[in-house]
Amino acid sequence: MPRQRLSPGWAALNLYGAAFLVFLYAPLALITVYSFNANAINMAVWEGFTLDWYRTLFGMQPAGAAFDAAFTENPDRIFQVLRNSLVVALAASAISTVIGTATALATARYDFIGKRIYQGLLFLPMMMPDIVLGIALLIFFVGVGFKLSLATIIIGHCTFLSSYVYIIVAARLAGMDNTLEIASADLGAGPLTTFRRVTLPLIMPGVIGGFLLAFIISLDDVVITYFIAGVDTQTLPLFILAMMRRGIRPQINALAVLLIAFSFVVASAGLYLRSRKN
Amino acid sequence: MRHASDHELLRVDNVRKSFRTPESGVVTPLDGITLSIRNNEFLTLLGPSGCGKTTLLKTIAGFEDLDEGEIYLDGRPMSGVPAHRRPFNTVFQNYALFPHMTVAGNVGYGLQVAGVPRAEEATRVADVLRLVGLSGLERRKPAQLSGGQQQRVALARALVNRPRVLLLDESLSALDRKLRQSMQIELKNLQHTVGITFIFVTHDQEEALTMSDRIAVMDKGRILQLGTPAEIYDQPASRFVAGFIGTSNIFTGTLTQDNGAARVQVAGGPAIAVTAGGFTAGEQVDVMLRPEHFALVPGGNAASGSIVAVIENIVFVGTDLHLHGRLGNGMPVMALERHARAAGGLNLKAGQTVTLHYQATSPHLMKSGAA
Ligand SMILES: Nc1ncnc2c1ncn2[C@@H]1O[C@H](COP(=O)(O)OP(=O)(O)OP(=O)(O)O)[C@@H](O)[C@H]1O
Ligand SMILES: [Mg+2]
């Protein structure tokens, strides 16, 4: 093995691996650096370290620098869109987790007519282009007379997030021995007790993983949300998009870095829980 | 001390169960099974792999619905009663331990579900773990146990609930000989002290003979014979049953009667003197002679009540020698000789011709071609 490690092929593989990581993370690293750059006009030119962009993001006017009011965001607005995003992400991923888990249990444990077709249809919302789904949802909500609001965003997100949760939990269930549920019944446990004490604990990593994935996807969804958000119900990604229209401002970098950090924490937690055996 | 009573506890009444298989066929692991199990009995199901033993246990426990027939507990039909309401516990062939619970958690599960107080649960779990020799491993997870230890956890998990009926699916198979024997004794003790009825599946015929009050020999979803170990051993109903328990020599021939002397004339082979109760002359029959029925004399001296064979192979198994030989017509035959006697002067060798004597009452007649 040690010989092999020194071989040109091995070196090339290592190089490729490193290059791939750079490719993935260079933009994120760059935006992180920019978010601390004091240069307000041209962020590609380093002018010294500053936390001003983070401060102005939350309405704190740094002293000493020449900031006009236009550079400072309205903190009420930021907190409101942040709140909207979190409410949507939490509600949609919680509802989707329940629906997706229940669906996975049903398809894993029972046979019914048209099961294969049903399983196929569950994949479809994931495969469908977001823009199609967004337009379809908009037409639907308008058609049935729903006023566009946070609720319509939540409902819209549930339609495709349930599929993600379903797939993750179904994979977990496929690896679970169903004689364990039989054994639980044999020992006198009714269906509810069996679910609570045997099935749920065993699929829990999948359930939590599915929830976190759904949460992250919901949190940063732009396309679908764009169609089904009401005029006064902006989410964070839509807010960033609106900020961009006014030009790329340094605050956007700061906001992006905060989002990256948050996603990183949630994704790590999800990965950890999924890899943890039982 | 409790003994198997004549009171019928469980009745399996003409039960039928088929599965559709992916090979687009249908298997019928239970093809009209009728079985009456007495209170406090130790009943063993014996049969080749795939004959339906596990399926029978599953239908009794309530994990499989029946296609036909009914199972009664104390005369009460069980078909509407879900598995978790039946006073039975199963030790699964694949153990089915809960991987996310400790040994103590697994064993205590049934008691927790039944609402047994914590303190009582703790003592009963400790007791049963001591019984199966696993004290000190309470906090391990199943993945941290050996196969034999897992099997004993499965046994303890079922035993601790003191069910009316305990269903054991090859539940001692992973244990070494010593451990297995001590578990056998413990199970028999429990049968008498606690009064549990056992339905036991095993592939080990010795285990079946020593443990059972009765044995049911199964094949292809049917019960071929049900009887005490001695009945099954001495009077098997068919060649199949005889072949399944113990070693036997089975010859097929025609029954002849002349002047009250009954014989079975083996085609191209010897005539075997028999007592022909229940069979008529001219019938095709199978004759069974157990290896221990023969008394061996050196030299070839064919007379009535004996057959002549040439020894091909001598296998030493401790107290006994197993002698594998052939008759004049090439049919294999097996005899048993005490090692002590053989060593003391007989001086048996491969290639030697011997005469095997038997009592006329020893050969057991069976219908030829019977299932
Ligand atoms: N769910 C099922 N679907 C299809 N066939 C099945 C199913 N369960 C069992 N069988 C078939 O039924 C037959 C009996 O199976 P069973 O498990 O009862 O055998 P067994 O006597 O316990 O065998 P072993 O001694 O190998 O454990 C086998 O041929 C098996 O393939
Ligand atoms: Mg089996």
Percentage, residues of chain B above pLDDT 70? 97
For ligand 1, atom 12: residue with the closest CA: B29
* ipTM above 0.90 for this complex: no
Which string of DSSP letters, residue by residue, matches B126-164?
A: HHHHHHTT-TT-TT--GGGS-HHHHHHHHHHHHHTT--S
Mean pLDDT value of segment A104-132: 89
Token duo for residue A111: 């046979």
Let me know: does B291 contact B322? Beta carbons within 8 Å: yes
* CA B348/CA B124 separation, integer angstroms: 57
Q: In angstroms, what separates the C-alpha of A109 from chain B's closest C-alpha?
A: 14
> Which of A187, A198, A207, A277 to mutate to test binding with chain B, by most B CBs within 10 Å of its CB?
A187
Query: If you classify domain B8-242 with CATH, what class do you get?
Result: alpha beta
Q: A199 CB contacts (<8 Å, ≥6 apart)?
A: A105, A176, A180, A181
pTM above 0.90, yes or no: no
Mean pLDDT of chain A: 86
What are the residue boundaries of the structural domains of chain A, listed by start?
1-34, 75-275
Indicate the pairing of strand B26-38 with strand B42-46. Answer: unpaired
For B66-92, the pLDDT digits (tens) are 999 999 999 999 988 999 999 999 999
How far is residue B102 from each of residues B89, B126, B130, B141, B253, measured CA to CA in Å?
20, 13, 16, 4, 60
Which of B83, B89, B100 lies closest to A278 in CB terms?
Answer: B100
What is the CB neighbour count within 10 angstroms for residue B314? 16
CA dihedral (B43, B48, B50, B52) positive or negative: negative
φ, ψ (nearest 5 deg) of residue B213: -80, -45
Which contiguous run of DSSP H or E holds residue B340? helix B339-341
Q: Is the pLDDT of residue A71 over 60?
A: no
Q: A150 CB contacts (<8 Å, ≥6 apart)?
A: A84, A87, A88, A230, A233
Let me know: does B103 contact B145? Beta carbons within 8 Å: yes
Q: Chain A: residue nearest B142 by CA?
A: A278
How is the beta sheet containing B364-367 ordered, strand by strand? B271-274, B261-266, B249-258, B284-289, B364-367
In this predicted model, which residue has the larger pLDDT, A212 or A4? Answer: A212
Identify the contact set of chain B against chain A, taking CB-CB distances under 8 A.
Answer: 61-63, 82-85, 88-90, 92, 94, 96-100, 109-110, 113-114, 157-158, 161
Let me know: does B19 contact B26? Beta carbons within 8 Å: yes
Please tell me if residue A275 touches chain B, with a CB cutoff of 8 Å: no
For B273-289, the pLDDT digits (tens) are 888 777 888 888 899 99
For B143-202, the pLDDT digits (tens) are 999 988 999 999 999 999 999 999 999 888 888 888 888 889 888 888 888 888 999 999
Q: In angstroms, what separates the C-alpha of B362 from chain A's closest C-alpha?
A: 47
The answer as to CATH 3.40.50.1000 being correct for domain A75-275 is no
* CA A224/CA A226 separation, integer angstroms: 5
Mean pLDDT value of segment A55-84: 70
For B354-368, the pLDDT digits (tens) are 899 988 888 898 888
User: What's the confidence (pLDDT) of residue B347?
Assistant: 77
| Contacting A residues, span 143-202, partner chain B, CB-CB under 8 Å | 177, 179-180, 182-191, 193-194, 197-198, 201-202
What are the residue boundaries of the structural domains of chain B, listed by start?
8-242, 249-367
For ligand 1, atom 27: residue with the closest CA: B49
Query: If you classify domain B249-367 with CATH, what class do you get?
Result: mainly beta
Rounded to the nearest angstrom, the distance between the alpha carbon of A218 and the centre of ligand 2 is 48
Let me know: does A107 contact A162? Beta carbons within 8 Å: no
The torsion of the CA quartet B277, B280, B283, B287, rounded to 10 degrees, works out to 10
φ, ψ (nearest 5 deg) of residue A105: -65, -45
For A215-254, the pLDDT digits (tens) are 999 998 999 999 998 877 889 888 888 888 877 778 888 8
Mean pLDDT of chain B: 89
